[in-house]
Amino acid sequence: MKIFLAQQNYHIGNFESNTKKIIDGIDKAKAAGADLVLFSELCVCGYPPRDFVEFNDFINQCYEAIDTIKEHADDIGVLIGSPARNPLREGKDLFNAVFLLYEKEIKAEIHKTLLPTYDVFDENRYFEPAFEWKCIPFKGKKLAVTICEDIWNLGDNPLYRQTPMEMLIKESPDVMLNLSASPYNYAQDTVRNSIVKAHVDKYKIPMLYCNAVGSQTEIVFDGGSLVYDAEGNCVKDMAYFEEDYYLYDLIETPAHPQLLKSSISAQNPIKEAALHVAGPVLLKEPIAPHEVSNENTTTVIEPSPLDTNRDDNDTLQTELHVPAIPLQLGPGRGEVYYYSAADVGKGSDIIAYLTDDKNMHEIYCALVLGIRDYFQKMGFKKATLGASGGIDSAVVQALAVEALGKENVHVLLMPSQYSSGHSVSDAEQLSKNLDNRYDIVAIKELFDQFSASLKPIFGDLPFNVAEENIQSRVRGNLLMALANKFGYILLNTSNKSELATGYGTLYGDMAGGLGVLGDLYKMQVYALARYINRNGEIIPEHILSKAPSAELRPNQKDSDSLPDYPVLDRVLYNYIELRQGPKEIIAQGYDAALVNRILKMVNMNEYKRAQFCPVIRVSTKAFGVGRRLPIVAKYLS
Query: What is the torsional sign of CA 272, 278, 279, 285?
Result: negative
Q: How many CB atoms lie within 10 A of CB 564?
A: 10
Phi, psi of 146 (to 5 degrees): -130, 165
283 three-class SS: strand
Q: Which of 112, 197, 496, 608 is catalytic?
A: 112
225 three-class SS: coil
Dist CA 618 CA 221 (whole Å): 10
Angstrom CA distances, 359 to 222, 248, 300, 330, 622, stand at 13, 29, 16, 21, 16
Q: Which of 43, 45, 135, 148 is catalytic?
A: 148
Are residues 64 and 15 in contact, defined by beta-carbon separation less than 8 angstroms?
A: yes
Q: Nearest CA to 522 among 552, 500, 505?
A: 500
Dist CA 585 CA 599 (whole Å): 10
Dist CA 142 CA 84 (whole Å): 23
Dist CA 528 CA 520 (whole Å): 9
Q: For residue 440, list its beta bridge partners.
A: 413
Q: Are strands 141-147 and 136-138 parallel, antiparallel or unpaired?
A: antiparallel
Q: Nearest CA to 563 among 516, 623, 503, 621?
A: 503
Residue 480's identity, in one-letter code, is: M
Assess whether 210 carries a catalytic annotation. no
Q: Which of 2, 21, 28, 41 is catalytic?
A: 41
| Residues 95, 96, 101: CA angle, nearest 5 degrees | 100
Dist CA 66 CA 43 (whole Å): 11
Assess whether 112 carries a catalytic annotation. yes
Dist CA 61 CA 55 (whole Å): 10
Assess whether 365 carries a catalytic annotation. no
Q: Which residues are catalytic?
A: 41, 112, 148
